[in-house]
Structure 1
């Protein structure tokens, strides 16, 4: 029985898994260092108290048990080394997992530039546990502010560094949540100040000017200070130093200034780009090894015009599904399918029930309509997974009894 291993239980890994389970005669192992699939785009709702931990995670154990497949298992392991020649995966837990085909879906992490000193003081909210710690710290500071408002009313300053999708969405959600919090309680001490720093000439570089304009207008209406053409140079306790010569005191620094691939890629001795992302062909295969695939954020994926596709859920779906299909086709000695990924569009959460988006490159939407479209897209992904984990949980309970 052929062994297929997926490393990474994120969006791309799940989409690959949904294809692979169609073949009941293979052994599938999903490996992840976490026990849950983090629904990353919804973490900002968690921070803004619009959802809870259960709303932004999918349990991987019960998910795997929910599929109709007798040879599928989830292993909560941390991968340390991959031996391509002997087709073995070595883990921190000393367990060795063998494979015939390997799908790398370990994603990316926030890149902290080494030349910027003091970034250890910054919050990395892409990691769920760090997002929860930040949420708790922020709420504690709000409580302290209210408790002491009769005596003093010190500013709470949040500096969000990086004005791509992540930076814009977190700045908007934090501003909206805070404004709503102070308004609801009629507190006098409501001097929260949020600044968004972009090293580019505008926020959301690479997106349409209309989408940039809509987003910028919304951010300014929320009271967010936008600083462009400026880089973060140094972080010290209580202060950030910017390339424009200004010094900003801060309560929190959230860094979203870039990504790098999982460190797994550096040990594989395969072709990668500057971010550590694996270079793949049109079949999602690693160039040097036909039995190894890379998908989602960990891969540099190009379309037919040789344009690098942005790391998002649409590309994770396309690449993950394609890799799963091509592994099955390889097993059947059938021609592999080529990819030409196209974006369905882009939707940006901008605080509360407000979003902005571009659909299929044809039409721009904003406000509640865009928000409800974004929610529909999210629920259409999450709903079938919830069905599977409910089935898996029922099976799990039966095994326990």
Structure 2
């Protein structure tokens, strides 16, 4: 029986799994150090009190039980070493997992440049536990302001460094959430400030000028101070020192300035880019071993024009599905299918029930309609998974 192992239960890993389970005669093992699939694009709703933990996670144990497959298992393990020659995965828990085919889907994490002193104190909201910590700290900060407002009303400043999708969305949600908080309570101490710092000459570099313009206007309307062409130089004594010569005293500093591949990829003797992402061919295979695949954020994926695709859910879906199909085709000794990654478009949450988007490079949308489209896209992904975990939960209860 062929053994297929997926390392990483994120979007790409789940899409690969959904393909692999179509073959009932292979053994599939999903390994993840977390017990849940984090629905990362929706974490901003969690911070803004529009959802709870159950809304932004999918339990991996019940998910795997929900699939109709007798040889599928989920293992909550932390990978320590991968031996390509013996095809064995060694874990911190001293459990060894063997494989014939391996899919690397461990994703990326926020890269904190070591040359920026003091940056190790910044928050990485890509990780759910830090998002929860930040949510609680943010709410405590708001409570402290209204608690002390009669005696003093000190400025509270939050600095978000990095004006890509993550930075723009979190800044917008925080600004909207605090604005509604003060309006609802009619509190006098309404002086929370948010600064968004971009090293580029604009926010959202690489996106269409119209989408950038819509987003920039929305951020300004929320009172966000947008600073462009500026880099963070150091964090010291509660101050963010910027390359334009200014320094900002802040209660929180969130860094979203870049990503790097999960350290697990270092264990593999395959070609990687400077970010540590595995370079793959048009079949999602690594260059030195055709039975080792990489997908989603863990891979450097190019389209037919040779352009590197951005890390997002669409590319995770396309690459994960393609890798799953190709492994099944390899097992059946069939010709592999080339991956043709294309973006369906992009949708950006901009606080409250307001979003902006570019749909398949055909037209732009903004406001409530863009927000509803974004929610529909998320629901389309989450709904079938909810059905699976419900089935898995029922199975688990019967086994107990």
TM-score range, shorter chain: over 0.9
Deviations, residues 316-369 of structure 1 (Å, cap 9, x unaligned): 000000000000000000000001111000000000000000000010000000
Once the two structures are TM-superposed, the CA of residue 237 in structure 1 deviates from its matched residue by 2.5
Residue in structure 2 matched with residue 126 of structure 1 by the alignment: 126
Q: How does 1:310-325 map to 2 (within 5 A)?
A: 310-325=310-325
Deviations, residues 166-219 of structure 1 (Å, cap 9, x unaligned): 000000000000000000011001100000000000000000000000000000
Once the two structures are TM-superposed, the CA of residue 267 in structure 1 deviates from its matched residue by 2.2
- Spell out structure 1 runs of 4+ moving beyond 6 A: none
Once the two structures are TM-superposed, the CA of residue 164 in structure 1 deviates from its matched residue by 0.2
Once the two structures are TM-superposed, the CA of residue 121 in structure 1 deviates from its matched residue by 1.5
Residue in structure 2 matched with residue 210 of structure 1 by the alignment: 210
Distance in structure 2 (CA, Å) of the matches to 1:342 and 1:30: 27
Deviations, residues 202-241 of structure 1 (Å, cap 9, x unaligned): 0000000000000000000000000000000000121010
RMSD: 0.5
Distance in structure 2 (CA, Å) of the matches to 1:133 and 1:365: 33
For the residue of structure 1 that corresponds to 2:25, the secondary structure is coil
Indicate conservation of the 8 Å contact 2:269/2:288, yes or no: no
For the residue of structure 2 that corresponds to 1:289, the secondary structure is coil
Distance in structure 2 (CA, Å) of the matches to 1:200 and 1:214: 17
Question: Any gaps of 5 or more consecutive residues in structure 2?
Answer: none
Indicate conservation of the 8 Å contact 2:295/2:320, yes or no: yes
Distance in structure 2 (CA, Å) of the matches to 1:156 and 1:9: 37
Residue in structure 1 matched with residue 220 of structure 2 by the alignment: 220
Residue in structure 1 matched with residue 111 of structure 2 by the alignment: 111
Distance in structure 1 (CA, Å) of the matches to 2:134 and 2:204: 24
Indicate conservation of the 8 Å contact 2:158/2:250, yes or no: yes
Distance in structure 2 (CA, Å) of the matches to 1:95 and 1:378: 35
For the residue of structure 2 that corresponds to 1:196, the secondary structure is strand
Once the two structures are TM-superposed, the CA of residue 138 in structure 1 deviates from its matched residue by 1.0
For the residue of structure 2 that corresponds to 1:357, the secondary structure is strand
Q: How does 1:2-401 map to 2 (within 5 A)?
A: 2-400=2-400
Distance in structure 2 (CA, Å) of the matches to 1:237 and 1:296: 38
Deviations, residues 60-87 of structure 1 (Å, cap 9, x unaligned): 0000000000000100000010000100
For the residue of structure 2 that corresponds to 1:286, the secondary structure is coil
Question: Any gaps of 5 or more consecutive residues in structure 1?
Answer: none
Using the size of structure 2 for normalisation, the TM-score is 1.00
